[in-house]
Structures are given as C-alpha cells and as structure tokens.
A and B are shown apart, each in its own frame.
Chain A
Amino acid sequence: MGTVRRRGREPGVPVPLLVPAVLAVAFLVLPLAGLVIRAPWGELGPQLTSPAVGQALRLSLVSATAATGLSLVLGVPLAWVLARSRARGRSVLRALVTVPLVLPPVVGGVALFLVLGRQGIVGRWLDQALDVTVPFTTTAVVIAETFVAMPFLVISVEGALRAADARFEDAAATLGADRWTTFRRVTLPLVAPGIAAGAVLCWARALGEFGATITFAGNFPGTTQTMPLAVYLALQQDPDAAIVLSLVLLVVSVATLLLLRDRWLTRAVR
C-alpha cells in the first residue's frame, strides 16, 4: 500500500469534477446511512436471533455461493470462447449472453418458467420422464440467480482474457503444449485475478437477486425465501423488521467484499 505522490502534477480536483463527485458519494452513501440511523437498535437482538432471519440468511448465502460456483464452471469456458475463438457470429453470441444484464429480472423469471416450468419446453419432459419439478425449489433459486448473475462473471473474465498477454500462450504452444494444457497451466493463472473479481461481482448480484427468484422460485420460508424476499415482505407489515434484515444483508455483503478485496482484488488491481 505504498503511496506515491506525484509532485509534478497540479494539486486538487477540478471543481467541475469535484461537485458531481461529492453529489455522487452523497447519493450512494446517504440511503445506507439512513438504514443505520433508522435501525431499531433496541430490537436488534430479538430480530437477529429469530429463526426466520437465520433461515433466510443461510439460504441466501448458500444459493448465492452455489450460483457463483455454477457460473464459474459454465461462465469461464464461455468467456474463453468469446475472447479467443475466431468463429463467426461471436459478437451476436456475446450480445445474446449479456441480455440478462439488461432484462428486467421478473421477465427472466417468466422466461425460466417457459423453459423449466412444469409446462415448459424442457421442464415438461423433466416432469414426465424423471418426475423432477424445478419451480418452487431451492434449485430454482440457484438457477434464477445464475441466470441473472452469470453475465457479470462472463463479461469480466472476457475482459481479463482480452487484456492478458497472448504471447505467453503462444510461447506455451511453441513449446508443444496443446490448447487445453495451455488454458489450464498458462491462461487460467494469468487471468485468475480477473476471475476472482468476476466471481465477487457475480456473488454480490446473486445475493441481491429478487425479481427472477420470486417469480420462478416463489417465496417459501426455508426453501425459497432469500433475504431480499424476506425484506420485501417484511416491509409490508413491519418496516422495522425490514430495516433489521436489510442491515444484516448490508453487513454480510460489505464484510464479504472487504474480505475478498484484501485477499484477491488488490492483486487484481495491481
């Protein structure tokens, strides 16, 4: 963390940049401060120890982590294809797989129904042949979160791959390594910080997922009610409980991000 001061440069931030920047900070931080200020600190203990909160928090952490795992397994190879293959139609493919980034998550939930629901294209077959129904299960939560969050991972890993020096891969190839070996032994270590950054983004997005989850997985305590769903429903009856739940989610996400930042992200930035 050595700080280098460049004395040659003009000190201070230009006013046209400073004012909007300060406004941006206020805009992003004030709502969070509001949560902390309005929190019913006296009720915090009983709320936190209630089994419903623990259940929702556990489900959120487990499903967001599973969604990140699934996104890593499927998303890193996809990112490689987008960054390295020279096949035609790559830009179309990239546009297609990033659609979930801009799609309203509720629409994503309905789309998942149409494919994986009991009446869906694939889901009907699953239901009849294997007696497996996906909606309203924890699996559905993971699928909904993966659908929404994986593009974040794909985009950042693809960016890392493009920025990585391809000459290392060329060198490995000239030394006789095949493309799979090159990928495992050269490319992966090279872009590991980018993968880590993408995984953190993906995890954070999955943790906050609401629309696709409540649509496709429904809302039932213990199986599909994640923290964002619990917050939304608590807000309708007991705003104080909703504030406590939001605080818990806020603390958990900030703690996780700080932890990972120390471990990985600083390396990614360097």
Chain B
Amino acid sequence: MSRRAPVVTALVLLLAGCGGSADDGTATAPGPSTAELGGTLTVFAAASLTDVFTDLGERFEADHPGLDVQFNFAGSSALAAQLTQGAPADVFASANEAQMTVVTDAGMADEPQVFAANVLQIAVPAGNPAGVTGLADLAREDLTIAVCAPQVPCGAAAEDVLTAAGVTAAPDTLEEDVRAALTKVELGEVDAALVYTTDVTAAGDAVEGVDVPEAERAVNDYPIAVLADAPNPGAADAFVELVRSGEGRQALADAGFRTP
C-alpha cells in the first residue's frame, strides 16, 4: 500500500488537472459529537500502530455504521512524504516528532498531540537461537542483524540508542520500516533486530524480546493530528478523540505502548 499510494496520487492529480479541492467548505461539517458521521475516514499511521489502530478503527466503524475507515500503514517518513506530495488523508499519526514536523512545517496540520510513546527492544526468533543478551551482541559479525534504515523513525531511534551505548552495530540490512525488520525475525532469517517493544508484543510467540536499558535514552513520542485539508474533518476529530480517550489509551497500553 505504501508504494502504491504515490502512484495513485499521481494519477488522481493528473486526471484532476491538479485542481484545488473546491468542496472543502461545502460538505456538511458537523461537530464531532452532534451529527451522524459518514463517508470515508482516511488515516495515515506509522507501521508500528498497525494492530492497535486496526482494532480501534473497527470499534469506530461499529460505533458509526455509516462510516468507512481506511488505513495507510507505512514508515512514518514515507507517509510524511506522501502527505507533502498531496496524498489525501484526514489523520496522520507519526512514530516520532520529526516526521510530524515535516507535515506541520508544510502547513498541512497544526497542534499535533502526543498520544503514546514507545521504546526499542531487541527482537529475536523464538528460543533466541543466537543467544542474544544485549546491545553489544548487535556488533557481532557472525550474526545476521536487521536495523531500521536511518531515514525512518525506528532507525533514527536505533542510531541514538547505539550511540548512547557506544556500540557500533554490524547490521546486514537496513529495513525500510519497523514491520519489515520484525517480519525477518518472525521468519527466523535474522538473529536479532532492533524494533519497538510493541512490535515484539504484537508478534506473539514467534518472537521474543530482549530488554535494552539504554533504550530509555531514545523514547519515541507519537503525535497525532487532523490534517488541514481533511476531506472528512468531523470524523477525523472524533477518531483522534477516541485514540486519546480512556478506551484508546487502554488499547495502546495493552499493545505495549506507554500512554501519557
């Protein structure tokens, strides 16, 4: 999906002759709690939010029968790039402040709210075949190691943590998003990967987590914002409200996120 979206966007822009959206103000824009919500709500969310947001999206659809929630899960930087290139969306939830800043600096959203935080953990295949015990093992040349690419938030956090710990990692691959790194652990193709705690939780029995004390030095805050050109602003506000409600916080905490 993350790779298809820019193509679709390009197509839409081409066909529409790059015309501005004329129906912004004309659509009925009810307050979040007053009128019935309908139409489609498009949420761009960091790959690490895949499970929680899918779950919250289903609850949201159940509460609002006329509403269809569409998610685009990918690396936050890919999403930020898609948004600044004009991809139509209502809500953006980023895995770090830097990628949200890309969007707010472009004037496409304001007042992002931090709704969760996440720290890194080492994911190893079930049984920990390589006997990984901490960050220092990521420097072992004999192991196959996956780390996120420095361009995406989990890679930026990994760089911070490794620098703080004074470890020079010997990765075999720099993954394009955190879920791609996790998948390689699940398949047993890498001995260890630096991912978020929540990803280890989400992967269930196939993956085990090794705690990294140094990870406290690079805690990722997750901001969420309604986009300025949101085609469905009413539903967008309501969804952000749900994410930040007690119910949303509980779902996030169950998935291993820290909540404010």
Chain A contacts for B146, CB-based, 8 A:
218
Given contacts A31-B10, A133-B144, contact A219 B176 (CB under 8 A): yes
**B176–A117 contact, CB under 8 A?**
no
Q: How many A-B residue pairs have CB under 8 A?
A: 66
Bound-complex Cα distance A233 to B146 (A): 16
Chain A contacts for B152, CB-based, 8 A:
236
**A233–B81 contact, CB under 8 A?**
no
- How far does the Cβ of A239 sit from chain B's closest Cβ, in whole Å? 7
Number of interface residues of B (CB under 8 A): 25
**A220–B174 contact, CB under 8 A?**
yes
Number of interface residues of A (CB under 8 A): 29
A261 interface contact, C-beta 8 A: no
Which of B75, B81, B174 is most buried by chain A, counting CB atoms within 10 A of its CB? B174
**A233–B151 contact, CB under 8 A?**
yes
B254 interface contact, C-beta 8 A: no
Chain B contacts for A27, CB-based, 8 A:
14
Bound-complex Cα distance A194 to B228 (A): 54
Chain B contacts for A234, CB-based, 8 A:
151
Bound-complex Cα distance A30 to B188 (A): 44
Chain A contacts for B80, CB-based, 8 A:
236
A237 interface contact, C-beta 8 A: yes
Q: Quick one: CB contact mask for B70-86 with A, threshold 8 Å, 1 for yes? A: 00000101101100000
Which B residues fall within an 8 A CB radius of A?
3, 10, 14, 75, 77-78, 80-81, 144, 146, 149, 151-152, 171-176, 180, 184, 187-190
Which A residues fall within an 8 A CB radius of B?
27, 30-31, 110, 113, 117-119, 133, 135-136, 210-211, 214-215, 217-221, 224-225, 232-237, 239
Q: What are 10 residue pairs bridging A and B, where the CB atoms are less than 8 Å apart in the complex?
A: A27-B14, A31-B10, A136-B172, A210-B3, A219-B174, A220-B173, A236-B77, A236-B81, A236-B152, A237-B77
Query: What would 8 more interface pairs be, CB under 8 Å, given A218-B146, A233-B174?
Result: A117-B187, A117-B188, A210-B3, A217-B173, A218-B172, A221-B174, A225-B174, A236-B151
